[in-house]
Amino acid sequence: MKLKIKTFGISRDILGGREVELDMNGTSVGDLRKTLSTRYPTLDKLNSLFIAVNHEYAPDEKVLSDKDEIALIPPVSGG
């Protein structure tokens, strides 16, 4: 499955772009998390990384489609 992933904050720096295409063999958010971890091991060093699918935070069990809008939401700091 080929996915288009929007990146924000530090995840943009790690993946190297505002939107990244990613081929993966799995079908779930959990599979996406594993694929990202393998290809971009620096992501594992983040305190948290939320994955949103179609504008909603998604659990690892959520099944993905190549038409889904996927976004990586890294930890945010503010003051």
pLDDT tens-place string over residues 3-31: 999 999 999 999 999 999 999 999 999 99
With bands split at pLDDT 50, 70 and 90, how would you rate the model's confidence at 37? very high
Distance CA(38)–CA(44), nearest Å, equals 9
CATH architecture for residues 2-73:
Roll (3.10)
Residue spans of the domains in the chain: they are 2-73
State the pLDDT at residue 43.
94
How confident is the model over 45-70, as a mean pLDDT? Answer: 96
At 30 the three-state DSSP class reads: helix
Calculate the alpha carbon distances from 46 to 40, 72, 73 in Å. Answer: 11, 12, 11
